């Protein structure tokens, strides 16, 4: 997308009482040239718990490490990135994770988790109908319609990029998760006002998957694929 030219030259002609004006202009420039905002939500700890763990690593750690790599890759592509957590072990309730995505008007919120099961590989989840939590029902039906093609495209790209690397378990409704089956959708999806997908990046209780995602090169490959999926999923929706 073409942005307006950055008016720093014009700023130089403005008298310097206005450092605040400079900051405003800098912000305006940034949003003109960086049209996409991605909110990255590294899973856990939250009110639903600390997540799973493998023999040696925790879901919290893998989600955090991949989130930081994904942030770095997206920023290099001039994408605006907002994280829901500022440190690995920060506790953030799911409703507050949704608020971060809403407040930055994210084009896409991507939530990173690792699964616990007897299987292997990655799965993408999205809200395809409303759920209710604490008397609040969401997401909005218009948003549910918007999310479907984004989630579909996101998963297609991820499957393509991770072919031969991690097994694809498909694109599934939020209600196929333990938390989603309780509320009808995942808690952050219910409270989201922006498109949202959740990726269970691997099965951490599977030693093969644990070994794979514990490796720095594999984490980088996973983050590259996730970045590609984020950006390409939005190409199609614009
Ligand atoms: Zn989790």
- For 123-143, what is each residue's pLDDT tens digit? 999 999 999 999 999 999 999
The predicted pLDDT at position 18 comes to: 46
| Joined tokens for residue 120 | 């292997």
Asked if the model's pLDDT at residue 4 lies above 80, the reply is: no
**Which of 33-47, 83-97, 117-131, 163-177 bottoms out in mean pLDDT, i.e. has the lowest?**
33-47
CA dihedral 53, 69, 78, 99 (to 10 degrees): 20
The predicted pLDDT at position 25 comes to: 42
Report DSSP state, residue 238: -
Q: How far apart are CA 53 and CA 204, in angstroms?
A: 6
The predicted pLDDT at position 11 comes to: 36
Q: Separation of 184 CA from ligand 1 center, angstroms? A: 17
Q: Separation of 21 CA from ligand 1 center, angstroms? A: 43
Q: Tell me the average pLDDT across 39-47.
A: 97
Letter string b/e over residues 50-61, b meaning 16 or more CB atoms within 10 A of that residue's CB: ebbbbeebbbbb
Instruction: Provide the pLDDT confidence category of residue 35 given band limits of 50, 70 and 90.
Output: confident
In the block, residue with structure tokens 């590989």: 121
Q: Separation of 43 CA from ligand 1 center, angstroms? A: 6
Instruction: Provide the pLDDT confidence category of residue 5 given band limits of 50, 70 and 90.
Output: very low
For strands 168-173 and 131-133, give the pairing: unpaired
The predicted pLDDT at position 189 comes to: 97
Mean pLDDT of the chain: 89
Contacts of 13 (CB under 8 A, 6+ apart): none
**pLDDT tens-digit readout, 212-237:** 999 999 999 999 999 999 999 998 54
**pLDDT tens-digit readout, 148-196:** 999 999 999 999 999 999 999 999 999 999 999 999 999 999 999 999 9
Q: How far apart are CA 53 and CA 115, in angstroms?
A: 9
In terms of average pLDDT, the best of 27-31, 34-38, 76-80 is 76-80
Q: Separation of 32 CA from ligand 1 center, angstroms? A: 35
Asked if the model's pLDDT at residue 30 lies above 70, the reply is: no
Asked if the model's pLDDT at residue 22 lies above 60, the reply is: no
Q: Separation of 188 CA from ligand 1 center, angstroms? A: 12
């Amino acid at each position: 997308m073409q942005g307006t030219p950055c008016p720093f030259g014009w700023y130089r002609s403005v008298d310097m009482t206005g450092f605040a004006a400079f900051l405003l202009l800098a912000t305006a420039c940034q949003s003109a040239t960086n049209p996409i905002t991605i909110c990255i939500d590294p899973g856990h700890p939250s009110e639903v718990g600390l997540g799973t763990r493998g023999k040696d690593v925790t879901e919290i750690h893998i989600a955090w490490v991949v989130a930081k790599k994904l942030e770095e890759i997206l920023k290099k592509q001039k994408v605006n990135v907002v994280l829901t957590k500022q440190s690995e072990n920060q506790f953030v309730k799911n409703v507050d994770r949704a608020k971060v995505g809403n407040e930055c008007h994210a084009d896409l919120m991507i939530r990173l988790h690792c699964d616990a099961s007897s299987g292997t590989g990655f799965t993408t989840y999205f809200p395809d109908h409303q759920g209710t939590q604490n008397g609040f029902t969401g997401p909005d039906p218009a948003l549910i319609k918007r999310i479907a093609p984004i989630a579909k495209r996101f998963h297609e790209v991820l499957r393509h990029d991770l072919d031969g690397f991690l097994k694809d378990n498909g694109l599934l409704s939020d209600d196929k998760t333990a938390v989603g089956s309780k509320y009808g959708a995942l808690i952050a999806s219910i409270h989201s006002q922006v498109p949202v997908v959740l990726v269970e990046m691997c099965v951490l209780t599977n030693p093969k998957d644990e070994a794979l995602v514990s490796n720095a090169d594999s984490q980088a490959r996973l983050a590259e694929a996730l970045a590609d999926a984020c950006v390409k999923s939005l190409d199609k929706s614009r």
